[in-house]
Amino acid sequence: MSKDELNANEPEIIYIPDEEGNEEEFEVIMKFEIESGEFAGNQYMMVVPIETDEENEDSDEVYAFRYEEDGDDLQLYTIENEKEWDEVEETFNTLVAEVEEEEDK
């Protein structure tokens, strides 16, 4: 994902079912691909919940998923491997730092 796409005006919204089958609304804040190492080629997306009720205000909560696209179909996979999670977190933090640095210029 380019830095310009990160700042796009139109948010991408996805719906993810919870444990009870209710679809929850999330905004995609970043998509990226790991470029090297053990998880090279895997695509990831970072999402934040779009709160509809005032009682549940965890606005700092960011969720990460590995994803695959097949046409219009989107498959999300939870990240359960600790090494994979560390790689995703490091890449996300690096990309956020780059965007913030660009904005400060």
Quote the pLDDT of residue 27. 94
Full-model pTM: 0.78
Q: How far is it, in rounded angstroms, from Cα 74 to Cα 67? A: 7
∠7-101-2 over CA atoms, to 5°? Answer: 40
Give the chain's domain count. 1
Quote the pLDDT of residue 72. 83
Q: How far is it, in rounded angstroms, from Cα 84 to Cα 53? A: 33
Structural domain harbouring 92: 3-104
Residue with tokens 């590995």: 66
Residues of the chain with pLDDT under 50: 1, 3
